[in-house]
Structure 1
Amino acid sequence: MLEERVDQIMEAVNTLVQLQSGKSSTRLPAPSTPTPSSTANQLDEDRGLREGVSVFDPALSPDPPPEVLQSLVKLYVDQIADQPLPLFHIQSLSRSVRTFPKPLLRSFLALTVRYSDDQFFRCGRSNAVEFYKASASKALYAQAAEPTSDAEVLQAFCLLCLSEIADGNMKRAWMAVGVATRLAVCAGLMSSKVKGVIVSAEHSRCYWSLFILDRIHGSSFWGVPAIPAGNAAPEMPLSVKRPEYLELTSPNDLEEPQAAEEKDAGINSYALQLLSIWGRLMSYLKTISQGDLEDAWTANSTYQQIKAEMSRFETVLPEVHRFKNARFRERNISELERHRHYWASWVFTQCIYHTTHCTLNHPFLHIARIRGQRRLRSPSFLQHASDQAALHAAWVVLILSSCEERDFKIYDPFVGHLASMIATAEFLLQFSKDNALAAKSASNFNMLRRFIERMAASHPHLQHTTVKLTRLGQFATAHVERASDQPPKVEIALLWNLLDYAASSSPSVDSGESSDNVELNVNTQFLSPVNPDVPTASFASEGLRGSGQEGLDTSFWDGSTFEFDMTDFSNIHGLSDLSIPSETWIGGHL
């Protein structure tokens, strides 16, 4: 009687194992057969089975059960989709993921599992990520041998590229984008005939996702962009809807009489426009890193062309998305999270806009003195460049500080890279003869480094960035300890690496350059107060308010360096009768 009861119990347990593993041939041994576990992982798996919880096993249960897969979909939507454009149709992703082909599913899992704490992966999350990535790579590159126009293949390559970036595999990421781009060409997504042709929403999202990846990671100083500038492209996909409390503005009395009501293409569209300019900026930096210098103040210089593109962008961005009207700093966390898809893209847009301006005017490019590079430089241009670098660096600090104050978490690691680029500018500005500017820049450098360190906890590839920033900061520490009056010398390669996302977030890259140092030539007028005898006001010492029409704290502009920017137009001869809008942009905000 007892033996029959034991047999019934064992049969029930075996049935449970079959249901959990999905393998009909898997059966537990009889009680008389010992099964000692030889490793801690095996003990965890046995415990999981006894508790009725399945675990990842590349042989028995490689793919997660439906409920775990749905949790990964939610993770993707919340943390990955807005970088800054969703690769999938978000509303239907929970349904479509169930029918993903294996390469696409494995690419999706390789990207999302690394951020998951689900119990299914508790015995080896890193092993699961490597298994999924290897499985997806093998299948995808085999498929690439036979060109296909399937959107699923392009989607899988995009996800695979993101996985390689997350692992700091610079060259593999380039390979994934490059192959996917060639497949997109085969699909006709980059043909001149694509204009005016209806392209499926899936293919449109694929192309623009490839465009984003190519601009943020493929536009490296050590690589070649896969998608050329000015390339034919399909229509941009629909943008995320803005919150209902943000309304378009109508023309006011100060605008042209024939002006029409603003047209809004959506925040994602403007983020993509800035990414296009970003690619041009990275190409500009690449030419400088290769020693091809120009007189930036000349009318036809690349500097002036990029600056003109930024000015054109400022004229097309609707008022509704601008800092003053969005009132980000007045929103509580519940408002921000309820419309996260909009606000995440808005933060991205603000950060890349100001970082583009700051990098274009970076002290390293225009003020620093590099051995063997002698050229005439315009003092008035250098004054303008340093002012712009300090101004836009302060705005990125303000945006990121506002996010932290509201506990609005930034998941996009590229924003972390933008913060590191701003940190390099702040590092140089801390050696200014303007003591207030120097102190504020040193504080901002440390704030940005801490921000990136926190992001690196979720994005390990940014740990390489923090190592490089820490090394950069050591130059300042040594300088302070020596109590030297002369600015320190910094390795050129280190600064270039920090300005390049692919190099910054990867292990140290050998650029092939010598280890020459750059001399921070900041003992000149343009990084000092215009009138050294006039006491310098605190450089935003009371913090940056930045709300409403005030933009930055008014004390930011009290220094004599900025007197011209704050000129009272009514006192200028010939302009006293002009109508000057009260919202005249003098704070540098977008």
Structure 2
Amino acid sequence: MSIGTASRLKTLRVLIRQASPAASDTEDADVDALCYWSVFILEKAFSPTYTVLSSQDDAPALPSNPCLLPGVSEPAFEAVQIGHQQTQDPKAGIVSSSVQIISIWGDICAYLSSIRKGKTEVPWSSNSTYSQIQVQLHQFELDLAPPHRFENILVKQRSPSELHSYGEYWSPWTIMQLTSHAALTVLNHPFLHLVALRGRECRAQPKLFMQHIIDQSLFHTGWVIRLLQTFEEMGLEINDPLMGHQVAATAIIPCLFQFSQDQQMASKAREGLYLCERFLERLSVKWPHIRHKLNILRQLHSAAESRPDSSTITFDQGYFWDILVSPPSYGAGDGSSPLAATSAADDPRSTLHVTTKFVQPWPDEQTRLVSQVDPPFFSQPSASNDEQILLDDLFSQFQRSEAVSRQNNKDVPDTLAFQARDTLTPRGAFLTGSLDGRKELGTGLSFQ
């Protein structure tokens, strides 16, 4: 209610100023911009289903950006630009990037809310909401200026004094980094695609699409957890309830995969879930609705601990929806009884059976490349040297073969096509069954 009131008051203020243009000046314009974008962020973050400002075409310019961190802008930009054509001014500020990704996050939450109300779609179709949000996320990646990217920010080289001095930069940077990965995690959430979008009739889904869903959810879950570790190492104090919502939604995935029959995957999932719960515990002191989500996760976690040898979990879908889409509500009190009144009467119970099988064993120690960026938490298993084929090498080989074939009036050998298919299959993918003598990609998750 408060956000809606603020949105309408801001809209009224804009209309009044448009009716009296002589009353405006530069200082008032800056105040208007700050007010507009603050309410815009609140709408997208906490009331994405009912927005007012996002539908307006005459949005003011974004507020001024904090200074770029020293030692980042020029060297990092030059390193990234080799062989690439930048689509945006490299000096683009962190504020615009953070507002852009928060807006996309709001669209994802509105998408989840519509599914929660029974509206389903075919997500792999080109005109689906899922595909449209994917396009927005791809555009965000193109628009993000290189100096603000994780690999260029040189986090491990930042001193505590520098972190304190540039607090105005780190605040939007942390929310931008976490939201960019949490958005892809939630958009590709296994619960969303294996349960909610299938409907009660359990519509069939392409296995390649479901393989993509599982790969993306695990990969970006790994990055969310890796970022939480990084924020701890940096000593950043985070009290943002939006980030708490994102971490809670992400934590469902390791909560599911702790039931994996693969013991290394299950152990890794439990470790990731613990890191998420520890982050949420700190935020729950100030935000009761985060405590509510945390208690639901702990209830699911305790169910796994009580059945350590089981790969099956039965749950009410309403509990997952409470974590994914429930808005901040202080009616939950201290969250001491989160499972008592949250599940709607029409939410069915679902049974999850987790079966994971990896192409290669998951190694405890991985060979890490010399880089400023550590691999994500759920990183893919390392492969032998003969399996590590770079895409550039693969495509250049294809071009050479194609040129030779044109010269000899021959077709490109079929073996190259199979080589490309095998090389591009994600390492660590779940492989089950067979199809016409070829390996069939499976999800590793099944719901009943």
TM-score bracket, shorter-length normalisation: 0.7 to 0.9
Task: Quote the offset at 1:279 in angstroms.
Answer: 1.5
Distance in 1 (alpha carbons) for counterparts of 2:90 and 2:14: 30
Task: Quote the offset at 1:571 in angstroms.
Answer: 4.0
SS, match of residue 209 in structure 1: helix
Distance in 2 (alpha carbons) for counterparts of 1:401 and 1:515: 35
| 1:528 counterpart (335, 346, 357) | 357
Q: How many residues align?
A: 386
After superposition, give the CA deviation of every residue in 1:410-433 in whole Å (9 maximum; x if it has no partner): 132322222111111221232344
Contact 1:363/1:385 (CA < 8 Å) preserved in 2? Answer: yes
Query: What is the RMSD computed on CA atoms of the aligned residues?
Result: 3.5
Alignment of 1:139-288 (within 5 A): 175-188=1-14, 200-219=29-48, 224-229=50-55, 231-248=57-74, 249-250=77-78, 252-256=81-85, 262-288=89-115
Contact 2:185/2:250 (CA < 8 Å) preserved in 1? Answer: yes
Q: 1:501 to 1:371 in 2, by over 3 A?
A: closer
Task: Quote the offset at 1:391 in angstroms.
Answer: 0.6
SS, match of residue 45 in structure 2: helix
Match of 1:402 in 2: 230
Match of 2:185 in 1: 358
Distance in 1 (alpha carbons) for counterparts of 2:253 and 2:330: 18
Distance in 1 (alpha carbons) for counterparts of 2:127 and 2:192: 18
Distance in 1 (alpha carbons) for counterparts of 2:10 and 2:271: 46
After superposition, give the CA deviation of every residue in 1:114-149 in whole Å (9 maximum; x if it has no partner): xxxxxxxxxxxxxxxxxxxxxxxxxxxxxxxxxxxx
Match of 2:279 in 1: 451
After superposition, give the CA deviation of every residue in 1:519-561 in whole Å (9 maximum; x if it has no partner): 22534xxx532x4xxx4223xx45897983655179933368x
Task: Quote the offset at 1:503 in angstroms.
Answer: 4.9
Deviates more, 1:204-213 or 1:546-555: 546-555
Amino acid at match of 1:182: R
Distance in 2 (alpha carbons) for counterparts of 1:425 and 1:289: 18
| 1:574 counterpart (386, 389, 398) | 398
Match of 1:491 in 2: 316
Flag the structure with more relative contact order, 1 or 2, with Cα contacts below 8 A and sequence separation at least 6: 2
Amino acid at match of 1:558: P
Distance in 2 (alpha carbons) for counterparts of 1:467 and 1:373: 31
| 1:310 counterpart (131, 137, 161) | 137
Contact 1:189/1:234 (CA < 8 Å) preserved in 2? Answer: no
Distance in 2 (alpha carbons) for counterparts of 1:183 and 1:383: 46
Contact 1:546/1:553 (CA < 8 Å) preserved in 2? Answer: no
Match of 2:440 in 1: none
- TM-score (ref. length: structure 2): 0.76
Task: Quote the offset at 1:350 in angstroms.
Answer: 0.4
Q: 1:435 to 1:568 in 2, by over 3 A?
A: farther
SS, match of residue 288 in structure 1: helix
Contact 1:355/1:422 (CA < 8 Å) preserved in 2? Answer: yes
Distance in 1 (alpha carbons) for counterparts of 2:117 and 2:37: 29
SS, match of residue 502 in structure 1: coil
Match of 2:212 in 1: 384
Task: Quote the offset at 1:447 in angstroms.
Answer: 1.4
Contact 2:90/2:146 (CA < 8 Å) preserved in 1? Answer: no
Amino acid at match of 1:393: T
Distance in 1 (alpha carbons) for counterparts of 2:400 and 2:157: 36
Match of 1:28 in 2: none
- Unmatched 5+ stretches in structure 1: 1-174, 579-585
- TM-score (ref. length: structure 1): 0.59
Distance in 2 (alpha carbons) for counterparts of 1:545 and 1:504: 44
Amino acid at match of 1:493: G
Match of 2:162 in 1: 335
Distance in 1 (alpha carbons) for counterparts of 2:154 and 2:401: 32
Amino acid at match of 1:514: D
Distance in 2 (alpha carbons) for counterparts of 1:439 and 1:544: 20
Task: Quote the offset at 1:492 in angstroms.
Answer: 0.6
Q: 2:293 matched to 1:465?
A: yes
SS, match of residue 488 in structure 1: strand
Contact 1:367/1:520 (CA < 8 Å) preserved in 2? Answer: no
Amino acid at match of 2:239: Y
Distance in 1 (alpha carbons) for counterparts of 2:20 and 2:208: 46
After superposition, give the CA deviation of every residue in 1:31-63 in whole Å (9 maximum; x if it has no partner): xxxxxxxxxxxxxxxxxxxxxxxxxxxxxxxxx
Q: 1:506 to 1:270 in 2, by over 3 A?
A: farther
SS, match of residue 519 in structure 1: strand
Task: Quote the offset at 1:570 in angstroms.
Answer: 1.6
Q: 1:431 to 1:236 in 2, by over 3 A?
A: same
Task: Quote the offset at 1:311 in angstroms.
Answer: 0.3
Q: 2:373 matched to 1:558?
A: no
- Unmatched 5+ stretches in structure 2: 333-337, 403-425, 428-448
Contact 1:241/1:342 (CA < 8 Å) preserved in 2? Answer: yes
Amino acid at match of 2:51: P
Q: 1:329 to 1:366 in 2, by over 3 A?
A: farther
Distance in 2 (alpha carbons) for counterparts of 1:209 and 1:244: 27
Match of 2:346 in 1: 514
Match of 1:372 in 2: 200
Match of 2:128 in 1: 301
Distance in 2 (alpha carbons) for counterparts of 1:216 and 1:565: 41
Q: 1:264 to 1:503 in 2, by over 3 A?
A: same
Distance in 2 (alpha carbons) for counterparts of 1:202 and 1:228: 18
| 1:322 counterpart (129, 149, 157) | 149
Match of 2:371 in 1: 548
Match of 2:302 in 1: 474
Contact 1:363/1:428 (CA < 8 Å) preserved in 2? Answer: no
